[in-house]
Amino acid sequence: MLFPMPIASQQIRALTASLYEWSLKKVPDDTQAVPRRAAGTKTDKVGRKTIAVMLESAGAAERESHLACTDVGVPTYSVAIGL
């Protein structure tokens, strides 16, 4: 038998803040692989520079435990809670 357990809104806020922060400190390897592949095919100078900035931002975030800059196109994630 399951007993429903109320979850306080503060717990949800703390969890979602933690998940969001975690997601911005480590861009998944498969997500980083896509712009790496694209970098080899882009001929436009601005496109190549944008990809380089995206990858550097993701790498710096992981190396230095900082948040990746989402302004350069690094994906963010949404988590649905509930049924």
Residue of 58, 54, 46, 57 lying closest to 73 (CA atoms): 54
CA distance 19 to 67: 12
Does the pLDDT at position 44 exceed 70?
yes
| Residue range 11-35, pLDDT digits in tens | 989 998 888 888 778 888 888 899 8
Domain ranges in the chain?
9-72
* Residue 65: predicted pLDDT: 86
* Residue 73: predicted pLDDT: 61
Q: How confident is the model at residue 54 (pLDDT cuts 50, 70, 90)?
A: confident
Average pLDDT over residues 41-62: 88
The identity of residue 19, as a single letter, is L
* Residue 76: predicted pLDDT: 61
